[in-house]
Structure formats: structure tokens, C-alpha cells
Amino acid sequence: MSDMAEVFQKLKAQGDGALIGYVTGGDPKPEFTPRISEALIKGGVDILELGIPFSDPIADGPTIQAASVRALQAGTTPQMVLGMAGEVKKKHRVPVVILTYFNPVFRMGVERFFRLAKSFGVDGVVVPDLPVEEAEAYREAAKSCGVDTVFLAAPSTSNERLRKIVECTSGFLYVVSHFGVTGAREALEGSTVQLIQRFLPYTSGRVPLAVGFGVSKPEHAKGIIEAGADGVIVGSAFVNIVREHQSDVGRMLEELEALARKLKEATKSHA
């Protein structure tokens, strides 16, 4: 059983949901990322998601776009982010997922990318701009290296296509909770709960379902887990803290840990 599957299984047995925390690798400087990751893990993040900065992140809103710009300006490369993942994995034994667009993978070479990812202990990879229909060689390379391929499903995904995505995804299904790009939102939309309930019959007993895009508050996390999801993915809320306090690292780390702790508490069963 993979480390990621073990985390979801253990939490499910406790009646809890998983907290997946995202930050952009190298934001605001590469040397900060291990400390930022540690603060999130101390706060309770069960799975860490590290983004490879990219110049044209089409699925991301202004918050994560700006984080990519800061990281690229600081000289961050894909290989450096994979190395950061390895450092975190070695020290904390928490599953690490890489989020990247397909261009960096293609430029490096799909097989080389997955061999390198595996050598650093990466557990899974998310590529938002790679459709499942065009991912056969990518999936084969990942499978041969023992790395999970996490695919996304959105409100516009038909039931027929959802079946195909669920067949191809491993680690978890990344549910995009609403139309548009990433970014913190004020309230949990009723349509998100309905989406979870529509997708659950397809994922239940097959693969964990985790919800992202717009999840930023404890009440969002609580509502999503109560609706039946196995996990919540929080990114922009953490990245905002990094941006706001990049000149005061101590304060940044304190606030990241505090928010992670509040979000983690919201994913727990209080029955």
C-alpha cells in the first residue's frame, strides 16, 4: 500500500478527513520552502502539495500566479522543487504530491521526470492541463516508477467522462469545486456539496475524493468532509500568508501553522 493510500485509510477509520496543503515551491525563496512545509505539517497537514512554478499557470488565480512569479524570479527550477519534496519527505515522512503543468514534464522528458520524482520520494503528481485522454504514456511512466497520477474532475465533467477519470486516477480524485481558477472564497457554495454527492457513487470504494479550489476556512473544510469527501485541498489561503509576511519569516511560519491547525481540527470527526 502506498503512503498516500495509508494516510487516507487511517483517517477514514477514525472518521476524519485529510488536510492537503499546497504551497508553491521556491516562494518567496527556495530556502524558505522546507521551513514553510514544516510549519504546515506541524499544524496538521496530512499530505503536502508542492507546486512547480510555471510562467503560464492557466488553472490558477492571481494569488498562485503571483507566487509562481516570485519563485521563478528567485531562480526556482523543477529539479529544485523535486529536491525540496525529497527533503520534506525524508524529514517528516508525510506524503508529498507535486503539482505541475505539463510543459516542464515534457521538457524534462516524461520518463526522466518520473524517475527523478521517485528518487526523491514523491508520492503523486497532479497536472491540471493534461487531459486523461492524452495521458497514456504519462500514466505508464508514472506506474512503472510507482508514482500516483492524480487527475481532476470539474462541475462540467459528464458522468461518462467521470468514469474514465476515476479509472485512471490514483492517490485521490482532485475535485475542482467550482468553475474558474484557484483562489480563496468567503463561503462554501451549495453547488460544491451537490457536486460531492454526485461524484461519490463513482469514487466510493475505488479512490479517495478530495476537494479543492476556493477552500480557505475551517467551516469550508468541515462542510466538505461532512458532505462525504475524504479530503480538502487548501492552497491560496496558505500562499496569501506567505505573500503577506515574506519579510517576517517567523510571523509567516506562526500563521501558517495556526491556520493549518484550525483547518485540520475542522476535518476531524467530533461525533
Return the active site residues.
Answer: 49, 60
Question: Given strand 152-153, what is the order of strands in its sheet?
Answer: 148-150, 124-126, 96-99, 47-51, 18-24, 231-234, 209-212, 173-176, 152-153
The angle that helices 190-203 and 218-226 make with each other, rounded to 10 degrees, is 40
- Selection from 153, 166, 144, 89 nearest residue 121 by Cα: 89
| Four-CA torsion 221, 223, 227, 230, nearest 10 degrees | 10
What is the Cα–Cα distance from 202 to 168, expressed in whole angstroms? 12
